Amino acid sequence: MTTLTPHDPAPTPATAIPAPAAGRDRIRHHPRHRRHHATGWRELIDAVRESGQYPTRAEAESVTRVVLSALGGHVVGDERVDLARALPEEAARVIASQIPAPRSLTAAEFVDSVAARTEGATPATARWDVSSVLSVLPPLVGDALVTRVLAQLPPGYALLFGRAELAPAG
């Protein structure tokens, strides 16, 4: 009588090449198709964490989401589209998902709106949060786009982006 035993599967060679990602992901991750001025979400959060000296990535991520969502409601038109395109995909979703605000807020009102969205925030901590996020955007999206965004916002926002704001001579 003969006994049949199952064969062990063939070992997988260490040099196996993984199958390419399907469709869009393969193209999106190819170096030639990366956004020119964008870095990844993780790098954005790390930059905010360093800028604001937040103790954890989770805190930096929370602050980033709140500030970008507030900003998304106040930047409209081509500037909003271009800002979303220049940012990492997750940040772009946060910006683009906001309904445009019915009126423009002054820079102080904007900071107050961030304070209202952040548990335990004061106007001072909210200003810190806003500046920590917005000041890391110019190197990511380019100075020309930041200038266009600032042109559509009321005076006072330049300081939040880490820029000097010059008053017109008069």
Where is average pLDDT lowest: 14-28, 31-45, 122-136?
Answer: 14-28
> Is the pTM above the cut of 0.85?
no
Residue 36: band (very low, low, confident or very high) from pLDDT cuts 50, 70, 90: very low
- The whole-angstrom separation of Cα 157 and Cα 165 is 8
- The whole-angstrom separation of Cα 148 and Cα 156 is 14
Tell me the pLDDT tens digit for each residue of 74-127: 999 999 999 999 999 999 999 999 999 999 999 999 999 999 999 999 999 999
